Structure 1
């Protein structure tokens, strides 16, 4: 069985209608959340259930039991219950009475200038007891008293409702028993996922792209998890190579059982910037289904998908996409339809855990995101969280709820994502324009990224005058040092090699267009090109 996309469509209007019917959300401190009650799709119960993954779980994960103190919160549903059970401090002891934020409303755009103006910005304030105001004078469903106290490891009911609705809008899961949990960011989520699925005693190995997120590799290594790199092309991971590795796996020769977990960054992959097409994702999913491999889908750059790069004409001025972006003209459906479907959208077996993050599209310092997977996997994830991170930051939950739920709503957030998408498109175009102008194309090659914030530059080491004398790593280091001397920092490709003990397939450098100004990005690429030319004697 396979699927090429979602089987149903949820709109913002559907979400608003369900909320109106259900009425005001009342969820006090450490409230237990019924995830299914927040799902909007009326036919979700008729969808098939996810597979069980007991055989994939580590001994550590399988042995974790519920936190007895947090489990006791279910008894607080009784309105007459007086709690002397949990160590939840009284909010009277919280020295913060309110939190105020200046935000852009989106009415005139989302720039800093818009936020500062009377027409396009406003100041919002979160009070300590907003959620307990009388029904005839409601302020908010979430406040400082609830948000800054201890909570459930899965997250607050208020933020979970928003995340579940967002997941239905974006992913439309194709099986019934899916669930979510808030996280303290995707790096922490990956650490917990690896502990859940990879067992040191079994000598489990992890599949990933041959060049992978360095922090992911550094997370796996101390856990005793060896990595198997899968070859890539301009669209990322090659499904045929993944199939070859798994079909020909020799457990005795490898000293490990056949891998049963794949970690992949499908959109704007870090470090290569590659984005898997729908066809590629379907092919990868098919291979994983064939070999019973569980997929960890890490998607911090998913909403930073961009139109194809078009080189500007000689002497022409580059039009910044942000200058032509009009929030009012961007509908939720139009934006979501422009994106490649997620692995969760294609998943009919509960074979995927998707890791989402606010880091790349809102603020990295929020240290907040969420995971989506089958209820079995989320239940195991929560057992880890209860005795590890304890759950997402209360300040982040309260502030993001005020921004995303009370101020912007789902449509406003999509418009913000359109703004960020346009901004990164403009930044990418500036960097690529500089590459076209300053890099020696007979030596340096690249594929324009269509998502994310990274640009992968290949440097042909075979054309270097010292190619027969120096190793690839030595040549890479020599160019890197020249770059540092000239005042430009680019990341060395070898830092991201999945298998550090194997020969590298080529020499690469990673550049980012995330932060530097247009002028500085252009100058940085000029300096990089100068370093390459000097190294090659051009």
Structure 2
């Protein structure tokens, strides 16, 4: 048993893993010897000869939005017969142990995932966020949401309390609710250079917790880097303080990190290049040692951190593929739960991701080089949106302020003239109608609260995402429409 086994949920502990094709559980008879070449008449697995797909070619780009540049340069009508030098060929069979062929990728697979991709995720974590203890493992998931749901199931029983940042990725509340837990919001410090969580508030909350009303917290859920929706990133020193609280008050930390690798430099003025000329000047070592904020894993010495990762923001969301890094005892109960709910992630998705990374990009460091290209593009887009806001009349008049994110894909636009309003949420809803009428969509802060009443006085902001835009024009135009709408709303006496 590990030092955190008492924090695993009763529900998760009660599950047992078994399969009807398993051999007898009793001891074999005396003299029994397994056959050297056993043949299968047990598993309901169709031979790969029945698979209609013989091979797959995956054509890649060298950098984000390269397809647009090809189109702009009238290079889109390439001959179909022309061999793409930047492609990955996935065969029915391969002898390369680092690759997944179609005979395996299209077949049933063990719940934990295919061995080559599990090995990659573990090597990737060793390179980027090496855990501070030995007894950890990786298990693949059907995206981050699946990982978060499984993390909740692993540790939360009905009536357990989980602490959640007051503004958060609200689908998480469905996962905690599914386990029967009670979410309790933690105040966020919304000053521009904040770490996110209001540490003094959290310390006082834990110190003065009334166990006659609610049991002491079992877990903390945090998006510690590029927080959704605020964009805040916790420093290493701040994480050490939070981790000490987790140790002192004995709770698990669920670290959700879909955006953390997309680190962003501070706004330095208007972008000087277009997105097709971007080159991240960082070396890999500079990125890893000076720009990538350490994970809670790196200060965890007993296994009380469950880190949830995803390929959605760095590869593609539709593949529904992610992974969890956690203490082996936690990943064991997660595996047992997966056998109950979804049997693990798509084999084809695993095959595409693994083989693109291993066969073409060059493994862990090659994958990180792709991340650096994405980082440069996101940094450019963030600065382009900020420039548009900073140049607006609404900003010049002090009607809005911006939180410059240190990572991720979200900018927080604070509506300054509503910060002391007693009817903030009503005003924000009416302002949202004005913004929509100008032809731009944003997310109001109150839509991402754990408890609207608790966060009412701090809900005077919009979450802006610069990821979905097709090009520079859409980013600039959306920023102009948004700030023009806010200006008109203000000049109309804070009415539509």
> By the TM > 0.5 criterion, same fold?
yes
Q: What whole-Å deviation, never above 9, does each CA across 1:241-275 have from its counterpart, x for those lacking one?
A: 2221111111223xx20111011111111100111
SS at match of 2:323: strand
| Partner Cα distance (2:65, 2:424) in 1 | 45
CA-CA distance at 1:68 after TM superposition: 2.5
* Alpha-carbon contact 2:466-2:475 (below 8 Å) kept: yes
Within the alignment, does 1:92 sit opposite 2:49 as a pair?
Answer: yes
Q: Give the corresponding residue for 2:164.
A: 208
* Alpha-carbon contact 2:400-2:415 (below 8 Å) kept: yes
CA-CA distance at 1:332 after TM superposition: 3.2
Listed as ranges, the matches of 1:243-254 within 5 Å are: 243-253=203-213
| Partner Cα distance (1:140, 1:371) in 2 | 20
* Alpha-carbon contact 1:322-1:422 (below 8 Å) kept: no
CA-CA distance at 1:121 after TM superposition: 4.2
Within the alignment, does 1:65 sit opposite 2:16 as a pair?
Answer: yes
Within the alignment, does 1:218 sit opposite 2:174 as a pair?
Answer: yes
Q: Give the corresponding residue for 2:31.
A: none
Residue 462 and residue 416 in structure 1: after superposition, are their counterparts in 2 closer, same or farther (change >3 A)? Answer: closer
* Alpha-carbon contact 2:139-2:324 (below 8 Å) kept: yes
Within the alignment, does 1:495 sit opposite 2:447 as a pair?
Answer: yes
Q: Give the corresponding residue for 2:297.
A: 344
CA-CA distance at 1:392 after TM superposition: 1.3
Within the alignment, does 1:378 sit opposite 2:331 as a pair?
Answer: yes
Deviates more, 1:433-442 or 1:499-508: 499-508
* Alpha-carbon contact 1:58-1:198 (below 8 Å) kept: yes
SS at match of 1:257: coil
* Alpha-carbon contact 2:59-2:84 (below 8 Å) kept: no
SS at match of 2:391: helix
Within the alignment, does 1:52 sit opposite 2:3 as a pair?
Answer: yes
| Partner Cα distance (1:111, 1:57) in 2 | 46
Within the alignment, does 1:359 sit opposite 2:303 as a pair?
Answer: no
CA-CA distance at 1:306 after TM superposition: 1.2
Residue 525 of structure 1: which of 474, 479, 486 is its match?
A: 479
Q: Give the corresponding residue for 2:66.
A: 111
Within the alignment, does 1:193 sit opposite 2:151 as a pair?
Answer: yes
Q: Give the corresponding residue for 1:43.
A: none
Residue 534 and residue 141 in structure 1: after superposition, are their counterparts in 2 closer, same or farther (change >3 A)? Answer: closer
Q: What whole-Å deviation, never above 9, does each CA across 1:139-160 have from its counterpart, x for those lacking one?
A: 9742101111111110011111
| Partner Cα distance (2:374, 2:138) in 1 | 25
| Partner Cα distance (2:160, 2:114) in 1 | 34
| Partner Cα distance (2:286, 2:463) in 1 | 32
Q: Give the corresponding residue for 1:130.
A: 94
CA-CA distance at 1:94 after TM superposition: 1.3
Residue 243 and residue 73 in structure 1: after superposition, are their counterparts in 2 closer, same or farther (change >3 A)? Answer: farther
Deviates more, 1:519-528 or 1:270-279: 519-528
* Alpha-carbon contact 1:271-1:454 (below 8 Å) kept: yes
- Give the aligned CA root-mean-square deviation in angstroms: 2.7
* Alpha-carbon contact 1:239-1:287 (below 8 Å) kept: no
Q: Give the corresponding residue for 2:114.
A: 156
Q: Give the corresponding residue for 1:505.
A: 457
| Partner Cα distance (2:302, 2:286) in 1 | 28
Residue 393 of structure 1: which of 338, 346, 354 is its match?
A: 346
Within the alignment, does 1:432 sit opposite 2:396 as a pair?
Answer: no
| Partner Cα distance (2:122, 2:323) in 1 | 10
* Alpha-carbon contact 1:273-1:453 (below 8 Å) kept: yes
CA-CA distance at 1:96 after TM superposition: 1.0
SS at match of 2:401: strand
Residue 79 and residue 172 in structure 1: after superposition, are their counterparts in 2 closer, same or farther (change >3 A)? Answer: farther
* Alpha-carbon contact 2:65-2:276 (below 8 Å) kept: no
Deviates more, 1:65-74 or 1:174-183: 65-74
Residue 270 of structure 1: which of 228, 247, 252 is its match?
A: 228
CA-CA distance at 1:239 after TM superposition: 2.8
Residue 428 and residue 158 in structure 1: after superposition, are their counterparts in 2 closer, same or farther (change >3 A)? Answer: same
CA-CA distance at 1:223 after TM superposition: 4.0
CA-CA distance at 1:190 after TM superposition: 0.6
Q: Give the corresponding residue for 1:9.
A: none
- Unaligned runs of at least 5 residues, structure 1: 1-49, 132-137
Residue 385 and residue 139 in structure 1: after superposition, are their counterparts in 2 closer, same or farther (change >3 A)? Answer: closer
Deviates more, 1:292-301 or 1:528-537: 528-537
CA-CA distance at 1:59 after TM superposition: 2.1
* Alpha-carbon contact 2:8-2:330 (below 8 Å) kept: no
TM-score, scaled relative to structure 2: 0.87
TM-score, scaled relative to structure 1: 0.81
* Alpha-carbon contact 1:443-1:463 (below 8 Å) kept: no
| Partner Cα distance (2:367, 2:135) in 1 | 26
Residue 498 and residue 408 in structure 1: after superposition, are their counterparts in 2 closer, same or farther (change >3 A)? Answer: same
CA-CA distance at 1:462 after TM superposition: 4.3
SS at match of 2:429: helix
| Partner Cα distance (1:70, 1:190) in 2 | 30
Q: What whole-Å deviation, never above 9, does each CA across 1:92-127 have from its counterpart, x for those lacking one?
A: 221111111112467xx9833589899994222111
| Partner Cα distance (2:43, 2:83) in 1 | 46
| Partner Cα distance (2:135, 2:401) in 1 | 46
| Partner Cα distance (1:55, 1:165) in 2 | 29
SS at match of 1:124: strand
SS at match of 2:121: helix
Residue 505 and residue 156 in structure 1: after superposition, are their counterparts in 2 closer, same or farther (change >3 A)? Answer: same
CA-CA distance at 1:423 after TM superposition: 0.4
CA-CA distance at 1:333 after TM superposition: 2.3
Q: What whole-Å deviation, never above 9, does each CA across 1:169-191 have from its counterpart, x for those lacking one?
A: 11111111111101111101111
* Alpha-carbon contact 2:186-2:202 (below 8 Å) kept: yes
